[in-house]
Amino acid sequence: MALTSALMKACLILLLRRHLRSGTGPGALPGLFRDPRLGRAIARILERPSDTFTVAVLAREAGMSRSAFAREFRNQLGQPPMEFVARVRLDLSRRLLVSTSQSIETIAAKVGFKSRSYFSRLFRTYYGIDPTSFRRQGAPPPH
């Protein structure tokens, strides 16, 4: 549990760093701080990345309609909600691949992917390398 908590905090820090580098304006706060409704949904994703998420589930968590939630999420964070979920899961899986000896299938399930093949395909698309090769390298691939 402590490892998961530390990894989720690291994900939040990465999200904040990316936001600040995106140049959305000096002092601009990311949507999760400006709108507590979005913050609730983001906190749920970070706390329980393996949950089954849909836009409807996240909108309910935020207390918003699906369309309003999807629009505000994209406007405030610069990406659709489900892309954010995938990126959080991929970042967590990347860390687990390097820091544990768990099987790729176990890691995929642990972070919320229902299929190892889908996880591997998405990992390769995002990082440019498959999870097995990534683990063998032991270092993050260039972005």
Residue 58 sits in the same domain as residue 97: no
The predicted pLDDT at position 10 comes to 60
CA–CA gap between residue 84 and residue 11 (Å, rounded): 11
The predicted pLDDT at position 14 comes to 60
The predicted pLDDT at position 21 comes to 52
The answer to whether the beta carbons of residues 110 and 103 sit under 8 Å apart is: no
Residue 91 sits in the same domain as residue 73: no
The predicted pLDDT at position 26 comes to 40
109: nearest Cα among 98, 96, 99: 96
Average pLDDT value for the chain: 83
**Which residues, other chains included, contact 32 with Cβ-Cβ below 8 Å and sequence gap of 6+?**
38, 39, 42, 43, 76, 77
In this structure, is residue 21 part of a structural domain?
no
Identify the CATH number of the domain in which residue 50 sits: 1.10.10
Structural domain span for residue 53: 29-78
In this structure, is residue 104 part of a structural domain?
yes
The predicted pLDDT at position 35 comes to 81
CA–CA gap between residue 141 and residue 143 (Å, rounded): 6
Instruction: Say what the pTM is.
Output: 0.75
CA–CA gap between residue 50 and residue 98 (Å, rounded): 19
Tens-binned pLDDT, residue by residue, of the chain (143 aa): 555 555 555 655 566 555 445 544 444 445 456 688 999 999 999 999 999 999 999 999 999 999 999 999 999 888 999 999 999 999 999 999 999 999 999 999 999 999 999 999 999 999 999 999 999 987 554 44
